[in-house]
């Protein structure tokens, strides 16, 4: 065996035509929590040629490993979730009108009048709404409960739709100037980045890529994936809301924006599920500064990522999250910047090539 | 023990940032433990004793983190907006003082809020004396704890972070006074309890105990009007937890603790806490399940900067725990 014990920095991954095509395919696929089949197939197709080991575990996570070379390699887990928020068909009514439930966090005010795709065949439906002609001023002040909404599939679908089928918003991927508009950017951006990182895996570490399931319903896939991988450290790669809109009339500044577009990858210090290991915060910020990559801290506070369960796995795993900011998260359409995506990918790669056993040798310092 | 408690409560250590308090505890343990290690989430685990034929591997958990605040935004004039680490009530914040891990001190101010409106954390800000964003000595993501010196009222003691440093003091004292034990005892000084029992969860997995319990504070029902619906009172002895909203103590452990206290003539009280949880839950749910309980110290004004406990309760908790660990454990 010829092994080079020195760190061999792999080529820095970049965003080009094929990366856009892959992201488009990923975003347009349907993978509502618990039925991630479609995205899993795309992931498997991409990672099988490059990974040393690929496994689909009992919950449906794709666990892809690429071993480095040399001694004392740190086992680094990266997690990006394949699932997205969406709907589940609950009951059929006359005229192929279907009652449905939400899967994951969706504001019910976002639903009326939206086109959806139902089931693995992507059958076209629409969440109906009473037209303004027929509503009273009083009705228009209230939000419409999910239970009184229906997905209208029309007569042409016959018996194809059944209770338990998933549905997503029908939004199609589009690049508009410096931006990407799509559904499920949360977390197909992360999935796409993990695929690129597997393809450009640095030799100094063992890269353990977990494409997780059921994140949106309680971080379920990552829990078992982390147990299986039993890594030395972990980075959850996700997408987080940017609410960087102009301030309200009665506020002198918008102080709760979570993240801002165009300011680069959002590094987590704390959310409701994880207090990031400061050694990893420093790894990321140092990497960004050395490589001249812009970055921002995600405002500490609510929310959670796969890191929330990974860090509590077994005897504890130093963990952090990095996200691409995206506006209008968990609605029918998200909006992210290409540069933020590219810089997040660059940052992750820059951080990975700097991982050494020394990083985790000392005690956690915050 | 008062000087140890004073030292522990005056050291900052909000959840996730327990490195200073961990060093203080390591120093305080000194040579009393057979072995000390620190796990991936920063919990300090001090082992004492060898498991004999009648012995068990016992985990005792006292958390060393405290509630605190983290900066979310710095405005142009150098005022800081913040979020909570653990259960921080806006009621106890205004006018309070904070100490950042980098030594910066500050005070908490408040926006003018409409009459009758409930105060929220977002109505508050920290003023560190900066005059602009540029000369502000802290940044987004920086962490502070409440800043309040230890107050000795004789029989009663008051401090911020009495939750749960008083338990850490108890654990250290037990570790020192425990002369012989048939058990292999792992004293876990756990991190991140206030944000979801994270430290005890991973420490318990690592220790893999046969039995375990937490030492923590609990509410006391002995204050004027509208006091919590609690049977516990300051000075009535260590409280043996029967249940809280996070777990039900193993009844065999409860019986064992009661029997031991009665035989040794140590005062005790029983605790039923309707809201709240401790590391006991994390221990209980480890791996294939672990018989778990909790010994509590009754405490007034929990999660305020002035948490009050009774000195005799602390001393009796030490006595009870030493007794519990000195002999073989038979669960019935």
Measure the CA–CA gap between B12 and A223, rounded to whole angstroms: 32
**B243 token code pair:** 């249940």
**B34 token code pair:** 């057979």
- Average pLDDT rounded to a whole number, residues B253-276: 97
Can you name the residues that pair with A202 across neighbouring β-strands? none
Residues of chain A with CATH 2.40.30.40: 86-169
Residues of B at the A interface (Cβ-Cβ below 8 Å)?
Answer: 15-19, 22, 38-43, 70-73, 75-76, 81, 83, 85, 101, 122, 139-141, 143, 191-192, 195-196, 198-199, 201-203, 205-206
Check residue A250 and give its pLDDT: 57
Q: Is residue B151 part of a domain?
A: no
Residue B280 shares a structural domain with residue B194: yes
Residue B26 shares a structural domain with residue B122: no
Residue B42 shares a structural domain with residue B109: no
pLDDT band at B257 (very low <50, low <70, confident <90, very high): very high
Which of A321, A359, A364 is most worth mutating to test chain B (most B CB atoms within 10 A of its CB)? Answer: A364
| Gyration radius of chain B's alpha carbons | 20
CA distances from B259 to B86, B212, B263, B331 (A): 35, 17, 6, 11
Q: How many domains does chain B have?
A: 2
Residue B105 shares a structural domain with residue B254: no
CA distances from A232 to A196, A224, A310, A362, B266 (A): 21, 15, 11, 13, 46
Q: What is the DSSP string of A166-178?
A: EEEE-PPPEEETT
| Gyration radius of chain A's alpha carbons | 21
Q: Is residue B155 part of a domain?
A: no
Place of tokens 């991630």: A36
Place of tokens 């959002």: A266
Which DSSP letter does residue A100 get?
E
Residue B178 shares a structural domain with residue B301: yes
Residue B50 shares a structural domain with residue B170: yes
Cβ atoms of B295 and B213 within 8 Å: the answer is yes
**Residue ending a domain, choose from B83, B113, B146:** B146
- Using the predicted structure, report yes or no on whether residue B107 has a pLDDT greater than 80: yes
Residue B222 shares a structural domain with residue B81: no
Can you name the residues that pair with B82 across neighbouring β-strands? B71
Check residue B327 and give its pLDDT: 96
Range of the domain at B259: 2-66+160-326
- Average pLDDT rounded to a whole number, residues B174-200: 97
Phi-psi region at B303: left, alpha or beta (left = phi > 0; alpha = psi -120 to 50): left
Tens-digit pLDDT profile for chain A (366 aa)?
444 444 445 788 999 999 999 999 999 999 999 999 999 999 999 999 999 999 999 999 999 999 999 899 999 999 999 999 999 999 999 999 999 999 999 999 999 999 999 999 999 999 998 889 999 999 999 999 999 999 999 988 888 999 999 999 999 999 999 999 999 999 999 999 999 999 999 999 999 999 999 999 999 999 999 999 999 999 999 999 999 987 765 566 788 899 999 999 999 999 999 999 999 999 999 999 999 999 999 999 999 999 999 999 999 999 999 999 999 999 999 999 999 999 999 999 999 999 999 999 999 987
Determine whether the interchain pair A364/B19 forms a contact, defined as Cβ–Cβ distance below 8 Å.
yes
- Using the predicted structure, report yes or no on whether residue B41 has a pLDDT greater than 90: yes
Burial string for B239-257 (b: 16+ CB within 10 Å, else e) reads bbbbbbebbebbeebbebb
CATH code at position B252: 3.40.630.10
Determine whether the interchain pair A315/B206 forms a contact, defined as Cβ–Cβ distance below 8 Å.
yes
Check residue B38 and give its pLDDT: 98
Residue B167: CB partners within 8 Å, gap ≥ 6? B62, B63, B214, B215, B216, B217, B297
Cβ atoms of A285 and A298 within 8 Å: the answer is no
- Using the predicted structure, report yes or no on whether residue B71 has a pLDDT greater than 50: yes
Check residue A9 and give its pLDDT: 54
Task: Kindly report the backbone phi and psi dihedral angles of residue A58, in degrees, each rounded to the nearest multiple of 5, phi listed first.
Answer: -60, -30
Check residue A248 and give its pLDDT: 63
Measure the CA–CA gap between B35 and B19, rounded to whole angstroms: 19
- Chain A residues touching B139 at Cβ < 8 A: 297
**Residue ending a domain, choose from B146, B175, B199:** B146
Residue B82 shares a structural domain with residue B106: yes
Residue B134 shares a structural domain with residue B73: yes
**Residue ending a domain, choose from B120, B146, B172:** B146
Residue A34: CB partners within 8 Å, gap ≥ 6? A83, A103, A166, A213, A214, A217
Check residue A7 and give its pLDDT: 44
Task: Kindly report the backbone phi and psi dihedral angles of residue B92, in degrees, each rounded to the nearest multiple of 5, phi listed first.
Answer: -95, 5
Mean pLDDT of chain B: 96
Candidate from A281, A364, A365 with C-beta closest to B40: A364
Residue B313 shares a structural domain with residue B223: yes
Candidate from A269, A278, A318 with C-beta closest to B40: A318
> Looking at the domain A17-84+183-360, which fold is it?
Aminopeptidase (3.40.630)
Task: Kindly report the backbone phi and psi dihedral angles of residue A270, in degrees, each rounded to the nearest multiple of 5, phi listed first.
Answer: -160, 135
- Average pLDDT rounded to a whole number, residues B261-271: 98
CB proximity A312 to B under 8 Å? yes
Residue B174 shares a structural domain with residue B115: no
Q: Is residue B331 part of a domain?
A: no
For chain A, what's the residue count?
366
Angle at which helices A338-352 and A185-199 pack, to 10 degrees? 40
Residue B77 shares a structural domain with residue B18: no
CATH superfamily of A86-169: Peptidase M42, domain 2 (2.40.30.40)
Q: Which of A148-157, A165-174, B150-159, B278-287 has the lowest mean pLDDT?
A: A148-157
């Amino acid at each position: 065996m010829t092994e080079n014990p020195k760190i061999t920095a792999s080529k820095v991954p970049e965003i080009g035509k094929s990366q856009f095509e892959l992201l488009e395919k990923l975003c347009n696929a349907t993978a509502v929590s618990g039925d991630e089949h479609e995205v899993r197939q795309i992931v498997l197709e991409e990672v099988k040629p490059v990974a040393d080991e690929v496994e689909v575990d009992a919950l449906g996570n794709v666990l892809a490993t690429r071993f480095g070379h040399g001694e004392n390699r740190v086992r680094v887990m990266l997690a990006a979730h394949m699932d997205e928020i969406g709907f589940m068909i609950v009951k059929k009514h006359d005229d192929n009108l279907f009652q449905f439930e939400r899967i994951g966090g969706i504001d019910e005010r976002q639903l009326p009048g939206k086109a959806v795709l139902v089931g693995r065949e992507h059958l076209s439906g629409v969440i109906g709404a009473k037209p303004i002609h027929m509503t009273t001023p009083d009705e228009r002040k209230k939000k419409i409960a999910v239970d009184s909404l229906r997905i209208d599939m029309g007569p042409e679908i016959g018996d194809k739709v059944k209770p338990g089928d998933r549905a997503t918003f029908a939004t199609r991927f589009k690049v508009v100037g410096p931006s990407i508009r799509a559904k499920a950017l949360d977390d197909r951006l992360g999935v796409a980045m993990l695929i690129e990182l597997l393809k450009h895996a640095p030799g100094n570490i063992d890269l353990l890529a977990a494409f997780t399931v059921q994140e949106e319903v309680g971080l379920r896939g990552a829990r078992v994936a982390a147990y299986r991988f039993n890594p030395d450290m972990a980075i959850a790669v996700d997408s987080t809301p940017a609410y960087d809109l102009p301030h309200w009339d009665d506020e002198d500044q918008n102080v709760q924006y979570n993240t801002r577009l165009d300011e680069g990858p959002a590094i987590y210090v704390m959310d409701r599920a994880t207090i990031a290991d400061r050694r990893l915060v420093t790894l990321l910020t140092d990497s960004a500064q050395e490589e001249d990559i812009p970055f921002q801290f995600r405002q500490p506070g609510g929310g959670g990522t796969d890191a929330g369960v990974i860090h509590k796995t077994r005897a504890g795993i130093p963990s952090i999250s990095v996200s691409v900011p995206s506006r209008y998260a968990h609605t029918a359409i998200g909006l992210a910047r290409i540069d933020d995506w590219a810089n997040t990918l660059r940052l992750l790669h820059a951080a990975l090539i700097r991982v050494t056993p020394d990083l985790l040798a000392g005690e956690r310092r915050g | 023990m008062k000087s140890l408690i004073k030292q522990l409560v005056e050291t900052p250590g909000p959840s996730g940032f327990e490195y200073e308090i961990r060093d203080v505890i390591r120093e305080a343990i000194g040579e009393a433990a057979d072995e000390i290690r620190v796990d991936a989430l920063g919990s300090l685990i001090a082992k004492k004793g060898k498991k004999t034929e009648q012995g068990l591997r016992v985990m005792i958990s006292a958390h060393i983190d405290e509630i605190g605040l983290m900066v979310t935004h710095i405005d142009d004039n150098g005022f800081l907006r913040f979020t909570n680490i653990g259960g921080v009530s806006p009621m106890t914040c205004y006018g309070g003082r904070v100490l950042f891990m980098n030594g910066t001190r500050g005070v908490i101010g408040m926006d003018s809020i409409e009459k009758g409106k409930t105060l929220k954390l977002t109505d508050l800000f920290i003023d560190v004396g900066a005059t602009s964003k540029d000369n502000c000595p802290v940044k987004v993501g920086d962490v502070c704890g409440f800043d309040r010196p230890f107050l000795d009222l004789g029989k009663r003691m008051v401090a911020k972070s009495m939750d749960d440093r008083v338990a850490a003091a108890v654990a250290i004292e037990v570790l020192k006074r425990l002369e012989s034990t048939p058990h292999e005892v792992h004293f876990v000084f756990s991190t991140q309890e206030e944000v979801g029992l994270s430290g005890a969860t991973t420490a318990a997995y690592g220790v893999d105990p046969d039995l375990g319990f937490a030492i923590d504070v609990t509410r006391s029902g002995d204050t004027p009007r509208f006091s919590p619906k609690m049977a516990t009172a300051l000075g009535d002895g260590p409280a043996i937890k029967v249940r809280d909203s996070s777990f039900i103590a193993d009844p065999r452990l409860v019986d064992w603790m009661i029997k031991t206290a009665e035989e040794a003539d140590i005062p005790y009280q029983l605790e039923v806490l309707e809201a709240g949880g401790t590391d006991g839950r994390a221990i209980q749910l480890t791996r294939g399940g672990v018989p778990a309980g909790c010994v509590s110290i009754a405490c007034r004004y929990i999660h305020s900067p002035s948490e009050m406990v009774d000195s005799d309760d602390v001393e009796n908790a030490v006595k009870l725990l030493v007794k519990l660990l000195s002999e073989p454990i038979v669960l019935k």
